[in-house]
Structure 1
Amino acid sequence: MTPRLGVISSGRQGGCRYCAGKAPIPPQDAEALMRAAGLEPLEPYPGSMSHWRCRHEACGREVKARYSNVKRGVGICRWCAPNAPVRPEDAAALMRTAGLEPLAPYPGTDTPWPCRCATCGTTVTPTHGSIKQGQGGCRPCSRKKAGVGISQAWARRRELPRTDGDQAAVELQGFGLTPLEPYPGPAGSWRCRHTVCGRDVEIRVHNLRRGLRACPYCPPAPGGRRRWPADEAEALMRAAGLEPLEPYSGRRQQAWRCRCTGCGRETAPSLGGILAGQGGCRRCADRRAAEARKTDPEVAAADMRAAGLEPLERYVTSMTPWRCRCTTCGNEVTPTLMKIRTGGGCRFCASHGFDLTAPALVYVMRNHRHNAVKVGIGGTAGRNERVAHHRRSGWVLVQDWHFATGVEAHAVEQAALQHLRDAGHGPYLSRDIMPNGWTETFDADLVTPTALAAIVETNIADLAGTVTPVPGRTILRPDRWSTRSGSSTPGRRPSARRAGRGQLPLF
C-alpha cells in the first residue's frame, strides 16, 4: 500500500488499514461467522453491508442476511423472528383449529377476517392476531360458554353447607342482637333489636362475621362516631333554634332544610355542623356578631358629647345618622358616630366647606365644550365661591338665585336633583372630566338650561313657607340613585343618554 505523506504527518489516519480498526474482513472469517449463526452461504462473500444469500439450517428456508446484522445478533432469519410474516396457508390452518372456516383470502394479522363458526354457523370477523393470542373467535359461542360457567358456579354454591335460622339466631346473641323476623340468609338484610340500646337495626350476618359493628347507633368507643336516630337528630336541631322542614336523611354532613325560630328565615345547615358547635342560621349569627362588636350606647353618647353634640335619640349603629343638637350654635344636625370619631362635627360650626349659616345661592351653568348643564350651590362671599371656580373651567352662568342661608339653598338644590333623578336622568360627565361636582351634571340635549332653570324656580315655589329641612341631611346621595319609590327591580337604572336621545319628562 502507498499512503500519502501529508495524511500520515497530520495524524488524522494511520498508515496501514489492516492494522487500523476498519480493516477489510477476510471472506473465510465471514463464512465462519455465518456458519456459527446457523446459516450456510450459497454464494461468495459480497461485503459486510450487502445481502448475502444463505440457507437457514433450522427451518431450511433461503434467506438474505447481512454480515453486519448477523455479527450484531439480529436479522438471521425473517421467517423465524417473533414478527415473522405469516403464510396464508398457516393462517387458515390456525383459524380452522379455532373452529372458524375462512370465507375470504388472508388479509393480514391485524385486519378483520370474515369467517364462519363451525359450531353455530354465525358469520364473524375476528383477526388472526386475536386468535393467535388465544381469544375466542365467535361471540355468541363465548357468551354461551360464560353462561354455562356462571350456572355451574351457582350450582356449586348451592351445594355448600348453609347456616340455618336457629344457628344464626344463636350467633346473633353473641353480638347482643335479637331477631325480629325469619332468617333471610347470610347476605340478606335481617331486622333485629340491639339489647344494649333497645333500637331496631338491620344487619347482615356476613357483615358481622367480617367484624363490622352490630349497631350503627352505638359508638365503637367513648367519643367515637355514631349514627344519629331521626328523633334524636330532630331534637338536636330544635335545641339549636331550628325547626326541620323535611325528614332526616341519616347523613350528618348533608344539608338539612330547616326554618330558624329566631328570624323565621329558611336555612339549610347540616347535623354535623350543629354537633360541631356552629350556628344554624347565618343571618342570626351575623346579627349576634354585630351585636358583639357594637359600641356601648353610653360610650357612643360620651363620644358625641365630647364633640359638642347632645344626642336627641337613642344610638343605633356607628354608620346610622344620629340626630343631635350642637351645644355651640344650637342647630340640629345628624352626623354619624363614625364621622365624629374621624374628626367631624357640626356642619354649622365647621370652618371649611359649605357654610349653612351664611348667605348662599343656587346656580345653573352650561359648558358648551362638553354640551352639559349643571345645578349646584355655593357661597356668595368669603367661602365656597363655586361659580368663580367653574368659570375658570369653561362653564358659563345661566341664572342664579340668592338665599339668606345655605340651608334654604341646599334644600332647593336637592329637590331639583331629586326631580331629575325621578325623571331618569343620571350624571352626564365623569369624575375624570369634572372631579368636583360631576354628579350634578346633565346632558344639555335632554335637559336644556331653560328647563333646568324652570325646575329650580318650581322647587323654590314649592318649598316657600314650608318647614326647613334638617341641615346636613341630603335628599339624594350618589350611591342611592337607584332607590326610588315605586321601583320594583333593584340595581342602578341606566342613564338618560344610554336609554335614548329623546327628551324625558321633567314635569
Structure 2
Amino acid sequence: MTTVHLDEITPEAMAVIEARRRAPPIAGPARSRRSGDLSVPCALIQGVPARIDPDAAAAFMRENGFDPEIPYPGSGVKWPCICRTCGKLVEPRYATVKRGIGCRVCAGQAVDPAEAADLMRRRGLEPDGPFPGSVKPWKYTCVARGHTDTTTYHSVKSQGAGCRKCGQERNAAAQRLDRAEADAVMRAAGFEPTAPYVSSRAPRACICQTCKEAVHRSHDNIKQGFGCPVCARHATSERQRGVPRPGVNDWRRIMPEAAERVMRAARLEPQEPFTDSAAPWRCLCLDCGRKSKPSHHSVSSKNSRCRYCARNMPTEALVYVMEHPHMNAVKVGVCGLRPGDPRRRTRILVRRGRWRLVWQLQRDVETAYRIEAEVLRHLRDEQGLAPFLTPELMPYGGYTETFDADLITVTVLRRLVERAAVHKKSPAGR
C-alpha cells in the first residue's frame, strides 16, 4: 500500500473509490483514513485495468486454437474448450493462454484417461480402476496369466513396460540352466551330483571325487571357485601338522623342531611329539614345574603361557555339569571364578548357547582341572566316547567336552564328577 494525496488520484480511480465506499463492507485488510490522506492501492494510482470483454476473450481463444464450450468464466478459471490440434476436451485458463501456454495434451503434459486405458490394454494389462495420474500406481490384471500388480502409465508409455511378474518369469527362464549343463559343471569341478538341479543358489547334494565324502555345493559356489569343504579341512590339518604337500604352500609347513623352539621360548618343555598346531600339547612349565596342555597356535599367536603361572589365574573354580535338551547333549567343564566377573563361562553357555546348568562344584583351580581331566580320561579312554557336537554348533568353545546324552546321562556324568572329587591325586600328574 502507498499513501498519496487526494489531488494526485485520477478521476477514474476516484470513481472506483466512491463505488467501493457505497458497497457493503467485506472481509479484508482495514483501510485507514488520516487527515486529508487515504490509503489507495498502487494499481488505482496507475489506472484501473478495463474488464475483459467475454467476446474478445472467446475470439482470443479461437485465435490460439481453442473452441470454447461455455461462455467466458474468468481469467484464472478453467475454461472447457476443444483443442483444434488434438481434438480433445481440455480446460486451459485464459490467463495461461495469454502468457503463451498452449494445449497440455499436445505438449504431453496431460493424459486422456480413455487413451491411457487403451494403451494399457494394448500391452496386455486390464486396468482395475480409474486413471490415477501419469506417475501414480495403477492397479491392473495381466490378461495372459492373471497376475495382479501395479504399474504407472509413465513406465508403460515411455519404457514399454508390461506385466512385471511375467517379465520376471521370462528372465528367470532365460537364465535357468538345464540339468545336463548343471551336471556338466559339477563334474568338471570334481563332484558327482546325487540330487536334481533346482536353482543356481540352492545347495545340491553331491559326492566329492577326491575324498569320496557327501557334501552340498550350489552351482554359484562352484562358479565362484569354491571346492570341497572336507578336502579343505584335511589340507588345513595336514599343513598345520607339517605334512609335506609337494608344490603347494611349502613355506606354510610347521616343522616339529620349529614348534618345539616356540614352546621352549615360552618356558614350556614339550613332553610328547608335535602333532597339530591347534591340538593340545602336553608340556612341563619350567617355572612352576606343573604340566598343562597349551596348543602351539595359542602360544605362537596369542602369547599364551602356563595356565598356572598366568597373572590373571583365579584361585577358585567351578566344575560344572550341563545339558542341552534340544541337541541331546551333556557337557562337563571348568569355570574360573575371577574377581569382578565370576561364572562368566557358565553365563555365556546358558544365555547364548541355551545350555542348562544342572550341577556345579566349587574347588581350587588345580583340583577343578584335575577333576575335569579324570572325568574326560574315563569317558574317552575307558568308555571310548568321542566329542558329540562340532565347532560350528559350539561357537563359544568347549565342543570337545560334550557327549551324547543317549550314551551317558547327566546323572551318570554328575556321579563321575563327584567320584573324581573324592579321589586324591597329585596335580602334577595331569
Query: Please, what TM-score do these two structures have when normalized by structure 1?
Result: 0.37
- Judging by fraction of residues, say which structure has more helix: 2
For the pair shown, the structure with the greater C-alpha radius of gyration is 1
Structure number with greater CO (CA < 8 Å, separation at least 6) is 2
